[in-house]
Each structure stands twice: as structure tokens, then as C-alpha cells.
Amino acid sequence: MMDVPSANQSQTSCQPWVDHNGWSPASLQGPLCNPLPSFQHLSQGLPSDQIPSYRPLQSSSQSSRSLLSHPSTPSLNDTEHHLQRMAPAHTIPQSPLMNETCIPQQMSLHSPHSPHPTLSVPFQPTHQILNGPHLPSSPPTFGQSSQYTPQLAFERMCAVDPGYVLNHPSSPIQQQPQWTPPYNRGAINEFPTDAAIPERSLVLQSPNSESRYGLDPELLPSAVKVMAEDQAEWEGKVFVSEPFSHLPPLATTYCIIEDKGNAGPNVIRSTSYCVPCDGQTTLLSRLPLGALVTPLAEQGPEDKPPPVCKESEVVAGCRWCGASMCPAMGWQDCGQRFYCPFCGKLNEVPWQQYQPTKGADGVRVDKDKRPELHTGSYEILNTQKGEPAVLLLAIDVSPLALRGGHLEFVTQQIHTLLSSLSGEDCEAWPDVRVGLMTYDSRIHLYDLNPALSRPHMLIITEIENPQLPVREGLLVPLRNCIDGLSSVFQHIPQLSHEDDDARGVPVELPIKAGLAVLQAFSCPGKLLIFHTAPLIESGHTQSSSGFFGSSKPKSIFQPSERAISLAKECVNQGCGIHLFVLSQQDVGGAWPGHIPYLTGGVLHTYSHLQGDLDRERFCSNLKRILEMKTGFKAELRIFVSKDLRVSGCYGLFVPTNPRQVTMATLDRRTTLAVELAHSRALDEARGVAIQTVLTYCTQTGDRRTRVHTLTLRCSQHLQDTFRHCQAQTLLTFYCKKMYCAVLERPLQELREELQTEITEALASYRKHCCSASVSAGQLVLPQNLRALPVYINSLRKSEVLLPGLRSSVHQRLQQRCQVLSMDAITTATHFYPLLLPLPLSVGTSKTSNPKEVLRCCASSLQPTGLYLVHAPHTLLLWVGTQVPACTLVELFNTSCFSSLPSGETRLPALENPSSVSIRALIDSLNSQSPCARKLCVVKQGDICEEALQRHLVEDKSPNGGASYADFLYHLHINSVRFLQ
């Protein structure tokens, strides 16, 4: 470990950094360096005597006053705010795996846009530092003295409006501990991974969020604080969505949305609400240009649903490009013609729909009476009516399924839910037609005609191209066949097989049979498959077209050609596959989730349904699927301004034309990311218009068209683009784009691309949007993108892009598909879970208020507390070792910490305020999740803590991902070097 320099030591002036290979920042060429670990570092170890340790330094008030006049400190005459932040009280020893000499500077808060005079409050070190030049962006030459201890300076972007006032610290002098750089040779492009240091695995008593470079994570921008500030700003207010409206609330912020001519942010959320006028400015910003589209987004409890119009009463849209009528259309010649912003052509108005215009703006006199003229979102009820959707059930009755002992429970639950749907007061799916089949190596169809004394079984032996022997009785209204279904369900567990063949059954078998039924009746529907047999792939051939039979790049995420072909057939028919795998296989077997997710369905896995928790989860998931409002045979068309084009569309669907996406089914959570590109320069006066037109069938057979239109401002100034971005929107866009790219590109390349884009975006903002001089040691972040680094770091080290030692292929495939179908709020919660402190005393109660959410790091967990970790597919309850015994009794009905249940469990229903409030909070969080979850209790120091470590995204992750502090530091270093 290097010693802290004393006052009588000399300090060599800093020169451009040249390492032992002769590299210098001035000669930097090619792509940005990647400081984050790669796979080859996971096997490197660190000697025990060289493990980094941290030593707090003693404060010295006298020496802290010797640096009041730092060379890089901005003067009071500057036009920006400067608020110095305190650096951490740690010294970093030498580490042989650290391939860079990191010499950060003083942390400060800087606003390049504020018109107020500058207030500079320099922080002072606790030890005297000799006068010397301000830190350059590169460390000194290795041949020079390494006793250089400058200050660490980071800068955060303040709000851009003139009315924003910073709260300065009460004392102008803050204590800053001294930082000692490690003396090590190597390039600045990598730092060690936590996976290479088993001795420093995360221990909650010694948080692993400590930075290797001396940064205090508590002083870094906080995603929790950003969400709390936005919630406080919009609490009790109404966001009026008008044409060319301003930045909306965050996706995680609840706010009433009023549609006044622009689609709400819950439907279309743009990556920037001020679009650059030309492609060169977009390229310069390094930010993506696009939007998130949730066509069937659920309205808030106080929001008005989109108005419904009849097709014959709606003013016809553009006859050239097919865009629907919307407020973005410009009326001319007293209302006789209108200008279409999506193709730039004029359209004649039919005389039956003509109305004159009024005022200087040229609006029609009937604007307030027609939803298509004054609302951003509306729905058209088409005159053409389609076939109602049906419900198909396919149950595995192979020998393994019959021996499993769970078929009786499954059939009972299906019968209970179908009985509830057949009631007269049921509004979820009235008059639904139901079909039933069972399968092993053959298909067994059931004739449910109510005229028969009992249902008849029809066996199909041709499984490759199944042909239906009859049609009548295969699909019968539920009210007329509920008794017949009950008798079949009672008979299924009693089936027996002559042979005891334990071979697997391909999942494609019931899918083909279900498609044959739907095609015979020309109707869409949901196909629910309850599978037990081992998962195998069908259609094996001796050709060399397999995974290893081609020289093309392969990915474990790629579905087979057979699965894609079958998914296309399902999409054309409007068949959504929902697969319940009742015997989960941890190792081996084909992953069956490609077809369900490509058709808008889901995959649920269980372990033979032996436990009560699995059975509760099965019932809840089955009920959600049956009651979820779904659109069938959907087609989404995307229109943009004539000077823009749709360059990509990312989500869970069979890829075809990015401007026209077809889906078998979709629901209120289905979200797509649309990427745009400039074809020519935009007109700043006209702005930008984005329209999505979704045509779909409801469960009752109504054909509807839902139209959403969003108009945005455009600007020639790069600064406006950064001001009108939001980190959660960019996270969701990057996530969908990268998770789609894993099908064709290496994971390491995608992680490097993510880091490079964010680095170049920060460098561009630093160069073009900072009006005042900024030192090389100050990190510049736009006000609305303060949380972007922690989000992007969490995305980079997710199991999909960075597999861990204990992550299976099936888990990664499942997680990718689950996240791809999420909306913005669910995606933000997935990559930054909510860490909620729970009340310990009887008289207090806490809810999931963003003001009370803690940062996702181990340092937030105290041994005396209870904490709930809420992610879309995970719910963890962490219990500290020093929780009062009375709290354990109230919550778990035991006073001994060692006797607490660990792992998946259920809280006992105790009649006391603490138990009631916590169980109510858990039920509320479960209702917001996309699927049913099991509560997992994690005791401090228990082996189950690894499940919690993966959700503490600000710390170093078990799969080798960098901590938030280290990632942010390297973003800053690379952005500064990029400008050199």
C-alpha cells in the first residue's frame, strides 16, 4: 500500500500520461476503451495480501484550510452554480489487477445553464496537500513520482429553468479525506471484477458498494432521489397532454393525465420531447431517437378512457399514406382540404364530412364535438365484425404426467375457474366457446356437444399435419358444456397407459392440434397447455442445419426455424400460446418459451405442484390469464413525419416490417420500442408527429382501431435535446434494443456498445452544452439523466448480457422474454428494484411511497431492520440479526432469529397491526406485478443472501458486474479522454 504524502515531500508536475507501451491521450484513436471486466478476468485471482483494504483518515482542520485557492476552482464571476461535494474517507492500496492509475479530483455540483452568479465552495482535504497543478484528465507518467493526491471533483447538471435555486451547504468548508492512488502499470481500459476476489464477496455488514477509486456511493446521483423529487413535483397535479407539450412525469410517478390533443405518456413516451432538426445533431448527441409504444395501455383510476367513435362518423384520414385523422392535420381553404404531416400531401374533404374553419389557426367549428380532432387517443368501432375468441385447453396425460399426482389438482382448478366464467354476472369473457384436448404421443379431442349423453373422445394419430375428423362439438359455449367438462376432468386423473414409455413429448404437438381447430373455425383464441413430460424438440433430421452445422454466428437466444415457422402460423391465426410446465427441468431439455412469447403468451414453470406455494401461484397465474383483457389478430402501423423514417422496431413479436407489426395477441402491458432516423432536415415550425394505429379484435369479436398521436417540438440546439430526455425512457429503449440484438451479436460487443454510447453522450454534452469552463475532474450530467448511469450499469450486468456462474440458460432465456414485454415503469423497477423499510413498532405503518424507498445497496440494510425488495418477478423480505424479538413475534410468531423460516414461505396470518399492514403491503405489490410471486425470506448471514445480492444493483454483482461508483468513475474518465 502506498503511503499518504507528507508536507515535506516534493511533487512532480504532471505531464501527459504515457504508459510503458508509449500510449498517450493525445494519440487516442479508434473506439473508446472498455474499463469493465470481460470473461477472461473472471478466472483471475487476487493474493490475500493484496486485497484492497480501506483505512479512514483522521481529520485536520488546519491542513484543510490550506487549499482554499485551488487552481481549477471557478471564480465568483462565472455564470454557473458550483457546489462542491465531499469525497470519501478511504485510501486505496495497490492492486495487481487494476490496470490503470486512477487519480480523481474534487467532487462538485455544476450547472452550465443557470443565469445566477457562481458560488464556489471548495472542499478541503483532511491532510495537507502540496501546492501543484490541477489534475489533468490523465494520471502522471509512471516514471514520475506517484505521490500525487489531488481532489476528486464530479459535477452534476442543475435544472435548466432560471427559477431553480441550489441549496448550498451551511458551512463553506467541508472535510474531504485524502485519496492515495494505486501505483500500477497498465491501460485505463479495464478494472478488476468482483468475481475474481472470492474473499470480498458481498457481506451485508461490510457493504460491497465501496468504490475501488475512493468514491463515496452516498454522494453520487441517486435514482431514488430522482423518483422522489419527481413524485413530489407532480403530487396532486394534472399533466395536461397538449400538442407540443413539455416533459411529462416519470414512468414511476403517478399522475392524472388529461388528453388535450396529444397522446399521454402512458401510451407513447418519446426518448426526447424536443427532437433535433437534422440527423447530424442527433448523431452528435449520441442519444437514441425513438419512442416507447404501449397501444392498449391501461388508464389510471382517475383518467378518462379513450373515446369510442363509430367508423361511419369519423372524418376520413389521409388517402395517400393511410394515416388516421388526428389533431396534427392542418386545415386549409376554409376546411375543404387538410395537410397530412406524415406524407406532406393535401387531401380533399368529402362533402358529407365538410365543416368550415374558424379563427386564425384554421380549426374546424366542430372540433370539440369530434374526438379525432381534439384528442390524441381515440378508438374506432369498425362496422366489420370478426369471430369471437375461443379458449382451448390442452392437458398432458403422458405416463409421467399420470404418475406425477398433480393432474387431479390441475383439473380441479381449471373446472373452478371455468365455472366462475360461466356465471351470468361474469364480465371478463361472456359467452366464450371452449374446446378441450389431451395428449401423450397422440392427440385426443373431445366432442362436447350438449346433445350427447357424455363427451366423446376422438383420437388423432397423425401428429405432423393433424386433420380434424369432425368439427361439430369441438368448440361449444361454456354455459352449455360445463357439465360435460366436469365429467372429463374427473376421468383424466384415472387414465392408464399400457406402455410405460417415459420419453418426452414435444410441445409443438398440442400447438399444431390447437391451430388446426382454430383454422377449421376461422377464429382467434387462447391456447392453454399444461405440460409435464420432458421437453424435447420435434422434427429431428440428419441434415447439418443444426446449431453447430453452419458457419453463421449462433446465439443461445435464437429460436429454431421450426419454432419461428410455427409462431408465424399462430400470429396469422391470432392464437396466443400460454404454457404451464408442471415439472421444471433445471438441466437439459429444449426451452419451450419461444413460441409462447412470440405469440403474446407467457411461460410458467413449477416443480410438480407439490407445495402449497406453487399451487397458489398456479391458481393465481391461471386466473390472470383467463381474466386479462386481450386483443387478437393485431396489426400495428406506425406513421412519422415525412422527414423522418422508422429504422427499427424492438419487442416480442415475429420480426417483419418495422413500420407494420403483426401480433397474435397483446394486452395492456405489451410495449414496443420504435427507433427513428432523419431522412432530411425537419421544419422547426411544424415540429414532429408520431402516430400509431392499432387494429385488433376484442374477445367478443368486435373489430376496433385505436389511434394514438403524439406531436413534439424540434430544435436546432443540442442543449434542448438533452433537457427533454428521461433516464427511465432511455433505459427501456436501450433494454429492448439490446435484448433483441442478442439474437445476432456477441454479448461482450453489446456491453461495450452500451458503455460507448453513454460515454460519448456525456462527452458530447460536456463539449457542446457546458457554457462555463469545466475542469477535467468534474463529471457533467444533464439534470434529467442523473440516474442514467446506474440504470445502464444495471442493464449491462444483467443475467442476459452478463451470465453468472449459477445462472442457467433457461433462466436467461426466460428473463430476456419477460423483460422484453415490459412497459417503462416495470422495466425501471426491474433494473432498479424498490428497497422498502418495514415498520418495527406496532404504532407505525409504511407504504411503498417513493420518499421512503432506499438506495439499492448493502449499506442501506441495517441489522436492526426489516426490508422488502420489490422487483417485477421477485419479492424478498430481508431480516436483520438484531431485529427486536417483539417484532419477530408479531410478524413470524416466533421470538428466536435462528428459528425463522428461510427461503420461499408465507407470512402467518396474525391479528396484530404490524402483521396486517405488512401483509396488506405485500398483497398490494403483488397486484402490480405481471405474474404471481412467492415471498422469499432472507435472513442476514444466510446462504439465501445471494438472491438478494443480485438485486442490490448499486453494489458489485455476484456475476462480476461493476459497482455503480466504479462504473460512473470510468464513464467520466473515458468521456474526458474522448474529448482529448
Q: Is 901 helix (H, G, I), strand (E, B) or coil?
A: coil
Which among 576, 557, 415 has a CA at the least distance from the CA of 492?
A: 415
Which among 969, 975, 976, 972 has a CA at the least distance from the CA of 179?
A: 969
Q: Please give the pLDDT value at position 97.
A: 28
874 to 305, 817, 829, 833, 891: CA distances (angstroms): 31, 16, 11, 9, 20
Task: Tally the residues of the chain.
Answer: 980
489 to 407, 438, 457, 483, 792: CA distances (angstroms): 9, 11, 13, 10, 49
Calpha distance 252→226 (Å, rounded):
10
DSSP 567-621: HHHHHHHTEEEEEEESB--SSSS----HHHHHTT--EEE-BTT-SHHHHHHHHHH
C-alpha cell at 753: 456498445
pLDDT in tens, 792-818: 999 999 999 999 878 888 999 999 999
Do 684 and 693 form a contact (C-beta atoms < 8 A)?
no
Q: Please give the pLDDT value at position 770.
A: 82
Q: Is the dihedral of CA 881, 886, 890, 893 positive or negative?
A: positive
Q: Please give the pLDDT value at position 852.
A: 83
**CA quadruple 752, 757, 759, 764: dihedral, nearest 10:** 160
C-alpha cell at 505: 413429448
The set of residues, in sequence order, having a beta carbon less than 8 Å from that of 419 and lying 6+ positions away, is 482
Residues facing 571 on adjacent strands? none
The alpha carbons of the chain give a radius of gyration, in whole angstroms, of 31
Alpha helix ranges (H) inside 212-323? 223-234, 279-285
Calpha distance 182→323 (Å, rounded):
61
Q: Tell me phi and psi for residue 472, to 5 degrees.
A: -65, 130
Q: For the whole prediction, is pTM greater than 0.85?
A: no
> Is 265 buried (19+), middle (13-18) or exposed (0-12) by CB count in 10 A?
buried
Residues of the chain with pLDDT under 50: 1-207, 540-550, 587, 843-850
214: left (phi over 0), alpha (psi -120 to 50) or beta: left
Do 593 and 813 form a contact (C-beta atoms < 8 A)?
yes
Q: Please give the pLDDT value at position 469.
A: 81
Between β-strands 688-697 and 702-715, what pairing exists: parallel, antiparallel or unpaired?
Answer: antiparallel
Beta-carbon count within 10 A of 240 CB: 14
Calpha distance 446→455 (Å, rounded):
6
Q: Is 372 helix (H, G, I), strand (E, B) or coil?
A: helix
Q: Please give the pLDDT value at position 947.
A: 86
DSSP 633-682: EEEEEEEE-TTEEEEEEESSS---BTTEEEEEEE-TT--EEEEEEESSPP
Residues facing 125 on adjacent strands? 176
Q: Please give the pLDDT value at position 477.
A: 93
Q: Please give the pLDDT value at position 378.
A: 97
- Which amino acid makes up residue 855? R
> Cell numbers 413498532 correspond to what residue?
841
- Residue 271, CA atoms < 13 Å, CB-side half-sphere: 23
DSSP 125-177: ESS-----PPP-SSPPPTTS---------------SSTT------SSS--EE-
> Is 561 buried (19+), middle (13-18) or exposed (0-12) by CB count in 10 A?
exposed
